[in-house]
Amino acid sequence: MKKFYALLFAFFILVCVCRDYGELAAFANSPKETHEPSLKRELSPAFTMTSQLLQPSGYHEDEYISQPHKQPEPAQNAVHEGSNKSIVTQPDESPAVQADENVTANGDNANDAINYIVVPRFYNLSVGKATEYLASYGINAKPDDEQAGADAPVVVVSFFGKWDDENFYFIPGKDVTLKVGGVPEEEQPKPYNKPHKAGNVAYLTFDDGPTKYNTQKILDILGSYGVKATFFVVGTAVERFPGRAKEINESGSIIGCHSYSHDYASIYSSKEGFLSDLERWYDVVSGELGEDYACTLYRMPGGSACARRYAGYGDIMAELEFREMLVFDWTMSNNDVWSRSKAGSLSPIDYMKKCFIEQLELIDGTGKPVIILMHETYDATVEMLPWAIELLLSKGYTFDTLDNLPASYLQR
C-alpha cells in the first residue's frame, strides 16, 4: 500500500513539473513587454516636427530680434505683452521680430505646438517684391503706409515669430507689417549742433578687434591712402593681442569702446553690469595707452537696437551722456557677417562689394552721415578695403573719424 501512495505522489509531482515547464516555455517564446516609454510613441507627430524645427543652429527667440551675432538671454521685464513694437533694420541686421506672448522659452505654445511657416531670410527688398515674396509662402503682408508705392524700400519687417541665420519662422495667422521709409521724426537722433563738413564724408569703422594679423594689415592699407578710421575694440581682444591698440592709436586712427566682454546679458541688464564692463575695458586699454587715456566714443555690441531690448538701456544711455561719451550705430555696412551664409554663388568679397554699392546708393544724398560698419575679424574685409576706399574716393568722398562728429548717431 505504501508503494502505491509513493508512486501516486511521484506521478503528481511529475505532472506539476511538466505543467510549469510548459508555461515557462510559452513565456520564453512570447513577445517581451517593456516598461520603458517610447518617446516617439508618446509625442504627437506635430510636436515631434515642431521640436526639430524650433532648435536650429544659433536659435534664439525673443520679443524683438535684430542682432545676428551671439544671442543674449533677455531681461525678464524687457517683454511687453500684447505690444507689437518694431525696430528699424540696420543694413546688416535682420528684420525685427515680435514673439507671441503665449510661446514659452523653449518655443512651445502654452496650449499647442506651433507649426511655423519657414521662409528663407531676405534683404533690401521693395514693398512690391517683399509682398510678392511672402505671398509665395502663403503670408499676407501689408505696408504700414497705405500710400507707399511698390518701389518703396522696406526698412522694417514686423512679425510674430523668430529667426536664425538662414530662415524666418512666422507664426501663422499673425499680422505681418512692412514698414517703409526711414526713422520716424519723433525718433530722430538729436540734431547736430554744428554743420557737417563741406562735401561728402565717409567714416570707416572696424568692430571686434584688435586681431593678430588683420589690424596691422588694415592700418597699412589706410596709411597707403592717407585715411584714418575708427576702431571699436573689445577688451578681451586687446588682452589677447597686446600692442595692437597702441599701434592703432599711434597711427592716428581713433579707438572707441566696444565693451570688454561683448556679452549682451551682462552689459545691458543693469547700469551696474554696464559700468563694471566699462571699467574692465578702461583698465585693459589704459594699460597700453596710458593712465591719462580718455575714451569719448562707444558702440554698443549688437548696436543700440539690440541694447534697447534690455531693462538697463535707459540708465546706460543716461550714464553715457553723463560721461559725455558719444554713441554710434552705423548707416551702412559691407555685410561681412553674412559673406558666407548669404553670398550664394558669389565669392565673399564679391558679395561684400555688391552690398557695399547697394547700401551706399541708398544713403548717398540723404543727409545722413555715411558711417560704414566692418569687422576686422574677417579676412575678406581686409581684401576688399582698398576697393571700398577707391570707390568712395571716385565718388568725391573724403574720410574722417567719428570723434569729429558733434553728436551721437543712433538708429531707431
Q: Per this entry, what is the length of the chain?
A: 412
Cell of 314: 535707459
Per-residue exposure over 382-410, b if at least 16 CB sit within 10 Å of its own CB, e if not: bebbeebbebbeeeebebbbbeebeebbb
Cell of 42: 508618446
**∠ CA 93-94-95, rounded to 5°:** 125
- Max alpha carbon distance in the chain (Å)? 133
pLDDT attached to residue 67: 29
pLDDT attached to residue 3: 58
Q: Are 334 and 372 within 8 A, CB to CB?
A: yes
Q: Are 169 and 116 within 8 A, CB to CB?
A: yes
CATH number assigned to the domain covering 187-404: 3.20.20.370
Distance separating alpha carbons of residues 374 and 2, to the nearest angstrom = 107
**∠ CA 203-87-355, rounded to 5°:** 45
Distance separating alpha carbons of residues 93 and 336, to the nearest angstrom = 11
**∠ CA 343-339-365, rounded to 5°:** 95
Q: What residue type is 13 in one-letter code?
A: I
Distance separating alpha carbons of residues 364 and 395, to the nearest angstrom = 10
pLDDT attached to residue 90: 36
In this prediction the pTM is: 0.56
Tell me how far CA of residue 402 lies from CA of 225, 335, 376, in angstroms.
18, 20, 17
pLDDT attached to residue 142: 86
The DSSP secondary structure of 291-334, one letter per residue, reads TT----EE--TT-HHHHTTSTTHHHHHHHHHHTT-EEB--SEE-
Distance separating alpha carbons of residues 282 and 291, to the nearest angstrom = 9
Distance separating alpha carbons of residues 231 and 219, to the nearest angstrom = 10
pLDDT attached to residue 186: 38
pLDDT in tens, the chain (412 residues): 555 656 666 666 655 545 444 443 433 444 433 333 332 223 222 222 222 222 222 322 222 222 233 333 333 333 222 233 332 333 333 333 333 333 333 333 333 456 889 888 776 678 888 888 888 888 998 887 777 788 878 766 777 777 665 678 888 888 888 876 543 333 433 333 333 343 599 999 999 999 999 999 999 999 999 999 999 999 999 999 999 999 999 999 999 999 999 999 999 999 999 999 999 999 999 999 998 899 999 999 999 999 999 999 999 999 999 999 999 999 999 999 888 888 899 999 999 999 999 999 999 888 899 999 999 999 999 999 999 999 999 999 999 999 999 999 998 7
Ranges of each domain in the chain:
45-182, 187-404
How many CB atoms are located within 10 Å of the residue 296 CB?
A: 14
pLDDT attached to residue 349: 94
